[in-house]
Each structure stands twice: as structure tokens, then as C-alpha cells.
Amino acid sequence: MSKPVLLTVDDDPGVSRAVARDLRRRYAESYRIVRAESGPQALESLRELRLRGDDTALMLADHRMPEMTGVEFLEQAMDLFPYARRVLLTAYADTDAAIRAINVVDLDHYMLKPWNPPDEKFYPVIDTQLDAWRRTDRTPPGELRVVGHRWSARSYQVRDFLARNQVPYTWLLDTSPEAAELLKAAGDPELPLVVTSDGTTLVAPTDAQLAAAVGLSTAPEADFYDLIVVGGGPAGLGAAVYGASEGLKTVLIERHASGGQAGQSSRIENYLGFPDGVSGAQLADRARRQAERFGAELITTGKVVGLEARGQARVIKQADGTEIAAHAVILATGVSYRRLEATGVENLTGIGVFYGAAMAETPNCADAEVYVVGGANSAGQAAVNLAKVAKKVHILVRADGLERSMSHYLIQQIAGISNIEVHTGTVITAGEGTGHLERLTLSGPEGERIVDTQWLFVFIGAEPRTEWLEGVVERDARGYLVTGPDLVADGERPADWPVHRQPYHLETSLPGVFAAGDVRADSMKRVASAVGDGAMAVALVHRYLEQS
């Protein structure tokens, strides 16, 4: 096979030659260096490389080029070589453009000119990017096809599982000609039907069967770890990254998909380091890849149902009967959306009524009247995203305005979108439909009225997922986990506290078990604070292990 390519593009011939020269000095033995002096010329080179079947490992593009900026080039080049690492060469004055490019083209790094001496400022960056490229699984994903009814709760759940786990798939309505052929070949099976690239058929698969079929890990590789993290939201992913990067043998167990509630957000705009915002799915995917790069194991479809102490070990029990033990545990199970108490709505869940953003359904809302219930940031972000495709988005809030629970920037954004209407003092009292949602009954300042709609997205507060911890660790009246100083009354340790020290800040009433993120009592309920909790919990795990 021919050597993989390192492509550099810069309209300044002197800079272009200098970049190519430095690349050849260090990488010529293992890589072929290709130089271009414009974006169009570089794209043409990439097309030729693809036609010949050659691979491209890295694309280094100058930002300021007259015919096509570096960001514009990288955006088009992604379609040709999606796995190539993308580096933007920029002057100090263009750092804002480079930061924006992180979201536009999933930029891997930006490098300031000049980069001398290369041993300090150039080669370490390129070495890191090439190492990441070599670690990436570049096998093109096979075509995964999902056949199901338009209004089927389980079909939606399968699509949501695949989407949130970043698994590409093609959705086929059971009435389409291609679906009919697949169903006939499979013997008219129960739906949904999933057909893998090698022709394997999965009939109404469980999440675990689906995960195994698409290559997601569903079982731990060992019986004992330094650290078990339960929950794959921002807190859990943060804990996995910091735990694994600091040398702890770490396993993360997630029931559905990495990212938690944050992973369903269409756009998070107030997270540090992303001035143009980042989707929850992007943030979760980057954190997952980062955790795996440091050696953390990520288990999908793991349903944790119990926790107990056995001497110095902390043992997690799963619904399938398996157990995993560790020196320490971080509970980052997050919260789940509270169910909407309105007549008939529960029976329509997954067939018109959705809890959370349900990103897999967004394209189907084109030119429709859509209703969003809730007044916090998650509801506002979903409304903004839905407004891009829907005819009209109605936000229903019980309060007299959005100011009480939504960020100011998001309120202003909503006010500037013409097809979003906010209905204050309004609640849903009933939902109806045959086979799927067809109408809602609303109660508001104008009295009761019925509206026709097939789409309702619910964001009405959250509840912790801690029922399985009853009697194991202390919880507050709402089910949140009590930690650290809140366990201490008048400076005295809890009566049943078994060790001669005060509980650490994020430690629960069971020593060696910590809580992080939204599941912790009185936490901030923000992505940044959840990540911070995860990092802090790992630091406290180290302290616990040192004194155990």
C-alpha cells in the first residue's frame, strides 16, 4: 500500500514550501507530503487521492487564502477524507476564526504562525494528531437499515438509541418498496426490523442486542477495577476522562447513550470554550473518545440495580445478574424528565409525545405545528432547533414568563425568531389520538381550548434516578444523594459513619462512594458544574485510596 498523505495548503509559496520542508524532515519515511497553493487545488489533489484509493492522515490549511479560506477548504475536504486530522494554520489576529472552526469543521487543532523552532511548536502538535489518526478506526461504517412503522414507540426508541450513540443508519418506513423487500426476505417479522451491512437481521431487538450488533461494548473486560463510574452524562464522562488519564483502571457504565440529558441538547451555547455553541451530541462524542483514548472502558446498555460494600470493595450489581467490583465508585446517574400528568398523554409516549429533544424526530417536524412544554434552557434550546424546520413552535410554560428558569441569552434568541410563540400561564390537561398524538387540550388565561398537533416535546423538570440506592446511601426527601458536609450535623460525623474522619466533599454516606453532577443534592444543574464534579470526585477518590 502507498504511504498515507500529509496535505498542506497555503497561498504564500514561501510558507507553503517551509511547511512541506518541515514535514518532510520528520515524516517522509512514513508519509507522503503533498503541497498545494490554493483551496481548489488542494481539493482536486484530494479527489485524485481518493480515486486512487490513497489515504490522507492530516490536512494542514492556512486560514487566509484569497479563493477559499482554510475553514471553507477543510469543510469541503471533510466529505472526501472524514477521518483525516484537521489543523488550521493562522495568525494571532485570526484566533477567533480558528475557535469558530472548532465547531464548523470539528477542527482538531489550530497553530499560530510562526512555528519556529519546529521541535517545540510544530512537531509535537503533528505527532499528537498523527497518533490520534492511527488510533482511529477508519473502517467505513456499513449501511445499517431500520424498518418500522411511522408511529411506533419501539421504532422511535431504536432510532433514538442509534442516533445518540453516533451510529449511522437509514430509516425506512414499512410502506416503502425497499422496506417491503427486506420484510419479505425476513419472513414478515415483527417490527422494528434492523438489517446490518452483512445482511444479519434483528427482529424487534433489545438495546443490548442492538449495541452488540453495531460494535458497542456491553460487558466489562474485568471483574475488578480501581474506579466504577455509573452514568455517562457530563459528570460521568468527566470522571472517566480524569480517572483514566490519572492512571486509575476505570469503567463507565451507561444505560442508554453517553451524554445524558446534555447529550440530547441541540445547542449548548454557554459552555466554556465554545463561543458559537456546541451540540450535546458533539460534546458527548468528543468526551467519549477522549475517555477511551486514555484507556477507560465504556459499557453501554448496562442497567445498574444495586450497590453494596464487601470489605474494602464496592460492588455494583446489574439487572442481568452480573457484578463488577472496584475500590471506589462515582455515582453520576443524573436525572430523568418528570412525566407529564395529563389525561391520555402517557399512552402516547413515543408516538407523538417525546421526553427530551428526541433529535431523531426533528426532521419529521417539517412544516408542522409543534408544542414544547417547559421553561428551562433545555426547552428553549429544543424550541430554537425545531423552529428551523417546523411551521410554528409553541412554548407552553406554567409561569408568567421565561425569566425565572431560562438564561437571558436564550430568551433574547427566542424573541428574535418569528415562528416561535411563548404561551405563559398555560398547561396541558389532556392528549388524544388514535395510534398517535392528534390533539392537545390546553388550559390558559383564555380558558380551555383544543389544538391539533402530532408533536409534543416535554421538558418539565427532573427527578433523580436513585430508587435502587434506597437504604444504601443517604438521600434527601426528593431522592437526591446527600454528600460531604451535608452529612455532618453540628460538626459530628454520622452515627453509622465507619471511619475516623469526616466525609469528603462529594462522598456519600458509604465511604468510597461519591456522587457527581445532577444526582447530587443542591448541585448546580449545569453542564460545566457537572464536569467539574466529575473531576473533583476523581481527586477525592485518589485521597480515599491513599488513606484506605
- All domains in the chain, ordered by first residue: 5-135 (3.40.50.2300), 145-213 (3.40.30.10), 224-336+463-547 (3.50.50.60), 346-460 (3.50.50.60)
What average pLDDT score do residues 237-245 get?
96
For residue 432, which of 440, 420, 424 has the smallest C-alpha distance?
Answer: 440
pLDDT digits (tens, 9 = 90+) for 333-350: 999 888 999 999 999 999
Instruction: Kindly report the average pLDDT of the chain as a whole number.
Output: 90
The secondary structure of 403-466, three-state, reads CCCCCHHHHHHHHCCCCEEEECCCEEEEEECCCCCCEEEEEECCEEEEEECCEEEECCCEEECC
pLDDT at 286 over 90: no
- Give the model's pLDDT for residue 253: 97
pLDDT band at 258 (very low <50, low <70, confident <90, very high): confident
* Confidence category of residue 544, pLDDT binned at 50, 70, 90: very high
The C-alpha torsion from 413 through 414 and 415 to 420, rounded to 10°, is 150
Query: Distance between CA atoms of 458 and 257, rounded to whole angstroms?
Result: 19
Confidence at residue 95, expressed as pLDDT on a 0 to 100 scale? 64
Long-range contacts (CB closer than 8 Å, 24 or more residues apart) made by 18-27? 19/60, 19/89, 22/115, 22/118, 22/122, 22/123, 23/126, 25/118, 26/118, 26/123, 26/126, 27/126, 27/130
pLDDT of 94 strictly over 70: no
pLDDT at 59: 95
Cell numbers found for residue 502: 469526616
**Model pTM?**
0.75
Does 93 have pLDDT greater than 60? no
Contact of 50 with 80, CB cutoff 8 Å: yes
Average pLDDT over residues 244-273: 87
CA 85 to chain centroid, in Å, comes to 21
- In angstroms and rounded to an integer, the radius of gyration of the C-alpha atoms of the chain is 26
DSSP, collapsed to helix, strand or coil, labels residue 114 as coil
Residue 103 has pLDDT above 60, yes or no: no
pLDDT tens digit sequence for 375-400: 999 999 999 999 999 999 999 999 99
Task: Tell me what the mean pLDDT of segment 15-36 comes to.
Answer: 93
Name the percent of the chain lying above pLDDT 90.
65
Task: Give the mean model confidence (pLDDT) for residues 130-150.
Answer: 83
Give residue-wise pLDDT tens across range 433-457.
Answer: 999 999 999 999 989 999 999 999 9
- Residue 521, CB half-sphere, CA atoms under 13 Å: how many? 19
pLDDT of 32 reads: 95
Judged by average pLDDT, the poorest of 138-152, 194-208, 352-366, 508-522 is 138-152
- Residue type for 85, please? R
Of 13-17, 207-211, 238-242, 244-248, the range with the lowest mean pLDDT is 13-17
pLDDT for the residue 60? 93
Residue 265's pLDDT is 77
Condensed to tens digits (0 to 9), the pLDDT of residues 30-81 reads 999 999 999 999 999 998 888 888 899 999 998 888 888 888 888 888 888 9
Residue type, 124: P
pLDDT exceeds cutoff 80 at 331? yes
Does the pLDDT of residue 231 top 80, yes or no? yes
Please give the pLDDT value at position 79: 81
* pLDDT score of 92: 60
Beta carbons of 241 and 250 less than 8 angstroms apart: no
Please tell me the predicted confidence (pLDDT) of residue 8: 95
Average pLDDT estimate for 18-30: 93
Which residues, at least 6 apart from 192, have a Cβ–Cβ distance to it below 8 Å? Answer: 146, 147, 148, 149, 152, 154, 155, 158, 204, 205
Characterize the bridge pairing of strands 250-254 and 224-230: parallel
Q: Would you state the pLDDT for residue 161?
A: 92
Using the predicted structure, report yes or no on whether residue 96 has a pLDDT greater than 70: no
Q: What is the pLDDT of residue 351?
A: 96
Look at residue 542 and tell me whether its pLDDT is greater than 90: yes
Q: Are strands 323-331 and 313-318 parallel, antiparallel or unpaired?
A: antiparallel
What spatial distance separates the first Cα and last Cα of the chain, rounded to whole Å? 53
> Residues 176-219: pLDDT tens digits?
999 998 999 889 899 999 998 888 899 999 999 999 998 899 99
